């Protein structure tokens, strides 16, 4: 203990400790700045808007297949960022009033039920983790979190939001990452998107 105490009284050691502390604080600030900075993407055609990390990039969907599937835009990691393999998609569905009127059922209930049927058929080893309905910025919404086995043999976890814009239109926000990375990506990226989605 005496040796340690004497060392700490040494001006050189004190300077080194102070310098190391400043470096650590600086690195922490840089990390926080890079991870907490966000920007917003608003689609001019539909008015849907999402805030996301500046470490990601948003791209409007322009391919013929995307337009047919009513995909509005995607958000992905920048090409030089190898942190994780995430995929975020925003799409919509319209002419829904006819469906709810024909079935005489609540629109959100119909969309939740249909989504789960599609997931069971489309995804290998589909397993629902959680489901909830809630109000999002004054609009009715539902969220499903589930996992499945990808075609590449790895398990993926997806967070899927249904947001009712009006009784004729619904928007879907889906975000997925490899199962072992999902919790980190959800905290770092997805939460901001899911809490910010709205309309301009």
**How do residues 45-78 score in pLDDT, each as one tens digit?**
999 999 999 999 999 999 999 999 999 999 998 7
> Does position 16 have pLDDT exceeding 60, yes or no?
no
Q: What are phi and psi of 10, to 5 degrees?
A: -65, 125
Distance CA 89, CA 73 (A): 6
* Pair (44, 123) in one structural domain: yes
Angle between helix axes 2-9 and 11-36 (nearest 10 degrees) is 80
> Does position 172 have pLDDT exceeding 90, yes or no?
yes
By residue range, what is the domain housing residue 128? 38-199
* Pair (26, 58) in one structural domain: no
Beta strands in the chain (DSSP E): 38-42, 48-53, 56-60, 71-77, 87-93, 124-136, 139-149, 155-166, 169-178, 198-199
> Does position 31 have pLDDT exceeding 50, yes or no?
no
Q: In what helix (H) or strand (E) does residue 194 lie, and over which residues does it extend? A: helix 191-196
**Per-residue confidence (pLDDT) for residue 79, from 0 to 100:** 62
Mean pLDDT for 16-33 is 47
Q: Sign of the C-alpha dihedral, residues 174, 177, 183, 189?
A: negative
CA distances, 25 to each of 20, 28, 53, 54, 159 (Å): 9, 5, 22, 22, 34
78-93 confidence digits (pLDDT tens): 765 544 589 999 999 9
* Pair (2, 91) in one structural domain: no
User: Cβ of 194: how many Cβ atoms within 10 Å?
Assistant: 19
- Total domains in the fold of the chain: 2
Would you say 92 and 171 are in contact if contact means Cβ atoms under 8 Å apart? yes
* Pair (13, 29) in one structural domain: yes
* Pair (126, 155) in one structural domain: yes
Q: Which residue has the higher pLDDT, 85 or 148?
A: 148
* Pair (56, 17) in one structural domain: no
* Pair (29, 43) in one structural domain: no
**Per-residue confidence (pLDDT) for residue 78, from 0 to 100:** 75
pTM score of the predicted model: 0.80
Which three-class secondary structure state does DSSP give residue 123? coil
> Does position 32 have pLDDT exceeding 60, yes or no?
no
* Pair (25, 48) in one structural domain: no
**Per-residue confidence (pLDDT) for residue 4, from 0 to 100:** 53
Distance CA 48, CA 45 (A): 8
């Amino acid at each position: 203990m005496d040796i340690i105490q004497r060392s700490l009284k040494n001006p050189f050691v004190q300077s080194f400790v102070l310098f190391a502390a400043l470096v650590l604080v600086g690195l922490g600030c840089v990390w926080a700045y890079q991870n907490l900075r966000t920007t917003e993407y608003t689609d001019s055609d539909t008015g849907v808007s999402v805030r996301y990390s500046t470490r990601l990039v948003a791209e409007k969907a322009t391919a013929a297949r995307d337009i047919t599937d009513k995909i509005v835009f995607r958000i992905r990691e920048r090409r030089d960022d190898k942190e994780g393999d995430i995929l975020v998609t925003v799409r919509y569905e319209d002419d829904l009033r006819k469906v709810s009127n024909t079935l005489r059922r609540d629109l959100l209930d119909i969309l939740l039920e249909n989504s789960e049927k599609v997931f069971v058929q489309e995804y290998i080893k589909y397993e629902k983790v959680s489901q909830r309905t809630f109000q999002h910025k004054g609009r009715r919404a539902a969220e499903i979190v589930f996992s499945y086995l990808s075609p590449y043999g790895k398990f993926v976890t997806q967070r899927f939001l249904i947001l009712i814009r009006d009784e004729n239109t619904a928007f879907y926000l889906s975000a997925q990452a490899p199962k072992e990375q999902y919790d980190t990506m959800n905290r770092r990226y997805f939460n901001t998107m899911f809490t910010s989605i709205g309309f301009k």
